[in-house]
A and B are shown apart, each in its own frame.
Chain A
Amino acid sequence: MNDRFAFTIDGVEVQGRPGQTIMQAADEAGIYIPRLCSHKELAPHGSCRVCTVLVNGRPQTACTQPAGPGIIVENSSEALLAIRCNLIEMLFIEGNHFCMFCEKSGNCELQALAYRFGIMAPKYPYLFPTRELDASHPDIFIDRNRCILCGRCVRASRDLDGKNVFQFVGRGPRKRIAVNAKTALADTDAARADKAVSACPVGAILRKRVGYGIPIGQRMYDAAPIGSDIEAARAHPHK
């Protein structure tokens, strides 16, 4: 069976299979396309736009766009890099992200992307929004200051936990993550082991009382930048 097809990413020939997104094919080929709202176990969402690539010259989100024979994908031009940096910076200024004391530091995908892109300090002013905490649940803590509205918790709760604990409410700048209960998270059937909790890429949904348990140096992104695991596959192709 040879239904594989070839296309290129930044001039490198890559094999794709029917039904694969550009991101999936790139992952298999050991090429990292930066991402935030995308998660291996979840249906693609295409909302954060960090994975924007040029497909035959047109911007597309790599997490939703199918791969196809002969397409020409650009993933690492200066222009794309600038777009991604801008998106990441916007996420920083729109929320209240204090990496210095956040317990997600070192394991946070947003921070890890900022490091990978060498973002020193955002060029836009911080908005310092007022966001609500929800500490009502005995085992889970919600800190909306750090929510980047990626929707992973919504999808994970619905599709993996079968619960529907989270939903978005409001529009535009007032859009926020809410819980499907009259008052607070304590009134939902959310549980400590839910995938919705572990799927959050930032420190917005946390398991209580375990923060800072992993010493600096042993956290997810201490040793190598985000995406290195994917790129390692390219360094050692398993053909």
Chain B
Amino acid sequence: MTKHTAGQRIVIEPVTRVEGHGKVTILLDEHRKVKHARLHIVEFRGFERFIQGRPFWEVPVLVQRLCGICPVSHHLAAAKAMDRIVGGEKLTPTAEKVRRLMHYGQFFQSHALHFFHLVSPDLLFGFDADPAIRNVIGVAKKFPELAVQGVMMRKYGQEIIRITAGKKIHGTGAVPGGVNKNVSIEERDFLRKDLDQMVAWSRAALKLCKDYTVEHLEELAPFGSFDSNHLALVREDGAMDLYHGNLRAIDAAGKKIFDQVDYQNYAEYIAEEVRPWSYMKFPFIKSLGPAKGWYRVGPLARVNVCDCIDTPEAEAARKEFMAVTKGAPNNISMAYHWTRMIELLHSIEKIKELLHDPDLQGEDLVVKGARRSETVGLIEAPRGTLFHHYKVDDNDQVVMANLIVSTTNNNEPMNRAVTKVAEDHLSGVTITEGLLNRIEVAIRAYDPCLSCATHALGAMPLVVELRAHTGELVDRRVQA
């Protein structure tokens, strides 16, 4: 009588997926020189309103709808916020470690996906290669082992998410004050099986990225590059910490703008500027103002900002990376890839550490304490610092939500990168294929979360428009 298909889960989900595509407009001045370039991202903004009135314990699961690529980051940022609502921010060792495992699993799969599916075609075939070849299918044909590695690494990260959150996407693992499950011996052993292979592949991916960057440094250094501030969470001892820490910001030369700032007070340090042409806001460091206070987040910023990394191989890799700029912050846009791979290795080192920690099998999962009504949850998501800020009333309902997502933090930097590429590579008034490719490559360095669907397919639809100072459309080109 029934048509139940074993194991196959259906989703009844009436809300259309967050749509996204990138649109770039390049504006020329009277002398037909590039005045500025703007990246327009269609961002899903209804969320803050949608969440009004929802019960606070629902939020960590609900926010995963924000993004199909980094749902785990939103899940954990919201859970960290809601920990404070129930007075449970001092998690049990088991809860914190299960969450960290989930988080590093997300990093691992996100960075692996980005590198193998989106970046490796640019590096292996060159920026100017025909987009028909310069894609993940092209990689699969010419470098089959590499494509397989990418798939397997992504799958490994997803298995970690499945085990810690219950499902590969839209899991429920983190609850206010803790987690709803630990990691069993069987689950741990299942993940341990492929561990060494994952470490080995991560090393190889890092090497590929590093060698490429070093070899092409002259060409890459100016590519879409500019000086900027950098922002990230760091541990109390200044070490990189992707799950928890305090805020540190440095300028382009490495001078600290602020350090060890409790992120509950982020609003005293960070503000968001609204510009009429963009739905996406422009965050900046208050003390420097909007013109000078914008900053970069994500792998490059994190490696620049931290004093060290607490896993040996990633720390050695960090030192090598910092040696390129003689210890000063690296402001090269294309260096994002190298740092992303340092974090890939760091994540798998952390995963290995956790999979050998008996606390993962602990039974003490949730803590609660004195109730609060306002809370901020911050986390370093794969794409950068992610802010979740909420107010919850006495009836347990959310009455205010403000989110600053990683891609928004990198809004101004991405605009700068595109502008720089346009300045350097636009000749005349036509958008050449080479320019289009280069704009795409520059944006990709920042791994923006434009659209989950397009990201997953490995292509970002990109529209570039060239406008004269009069506003008249001079040229238009689309990369599908």
Contact = CB atoms under 8 A, between A and B. Distances in A.
Interface of A: 10, 75-76, 81, 92-93, 96-101, 103, 111, 114-122, 126, 128, 133, 135-136, 141, 206, 208-217, 225, 227
Contacts of A120: 10
Closest 8 CB pairs of A and B: A216-B166, A76-B1, A118-B3, A215-B181, A135-B395, A101-B62, A212-B172, A126-B14
Contacts of A76: 1
B3 A111 contact: no
Nearest to A89: B12
A216 B3 contact: no
A90 B397 CA distance: 29
B218 to A, nearest CB: 49
Contacts of A93: 14
A115 B10 contact: yes
Contact of A101 (B10, B170, B173, B176): B170
A210 to B, nearest CB: 8
B126 interface: no
The winner among A10, A76, A120, A212 for most chain B CB atoms within 10 A is A212
13 contacts: A97-B12, A98-B65, A100-B170, A101-B64, A117-B4, A120-B10, A122-B12, A135-B395, A135-B396, A208-B55, A212-B175, A212-B180, A216-B166
A212 B11 contact: no
Interface residues of B, number: 36
A128 to B, nearest CB: 7
Contacts of B176: 209
A206 B396 CA distance: 13
B395 A116 contact: no
B86 to A, nearest CB: 8
Interface of B: 1-5, 9-15, 53, 55, 57-58, 60-62, 64-65, 86, 165-167, 170-173, 175-176, 180-181, 395-397
Contact of A217 (B1, B61, B166): B166
B192 to A, nearest CB: 20
Contacts of B55: 135, 141, 206, 208, 211
Contacts of A116: 2-4
A119 B10 contact: yes
A114 to B, nearest CB: 6
Contact of B57 (A99, A126, A212): A212
A99 B53 contact: no
Interface of A is mostly: loop
B4 A118 contact: yes
Nearest to A80: B1
A122 B12 CA distance: 8
B5 A118 contact: yes
Contacts of A118: 2-5, 10
Contacts of B62: 101
A10 to B, nearest CB: 8
A89 B146 CA distance: 45
B3 A103 contact: no
Contact of B12 (A81, A92, A141, A214): A92
A120 B12 CA distance: 7
Contacts of B165: 216
Nearest to B54: A133
B396 A141 contact: yes
A136 B166 contact: no
A99 B172 CA distance: 12
Contacts of A97: 12, 14
Contacts of B3: 81, 116-118
Contacts of B64: 100-101
Nearest to B52: A133
Nearest to B171: A216
A216 B181 CA distance: 9
B2 A225 contact: yes
Given A75-B1, A99-B11, A118-B5, A211 B58 contact: yes
B396 A98 contact: no
A99 B166 CA distance: 15
Contacts of B166: 215-217
A84 to B, nearest CB: 10
A210 B178 CA distance: 12
Given A133-B53, A209-B396, A100 B11 contact: yes
Given A97-B14, A121-B12, A209-B176, 4 more contacts: A100-B13, A118-B5, A209-B86, A217-B166
Nearest to B397: A135
Given A101-B61, A103-B57, A141-B55, A128 B14 contact: yes
Contacts of B171: 216
The winner among A93, A97, A115, A210 for most chain B CB atoms within 10 A is A115
B167 A216 contact: yes
Given A92-B12, A120-B10, A126-B14, A216 B53 contact: no
A56 to B, nearest CB: 20
A192 B479 CA distance: 57
A215 B61 contact: no
Contacts of A210: 57
Contacts of B396: 135, 141, 208-209
A101 B58 contact: yes
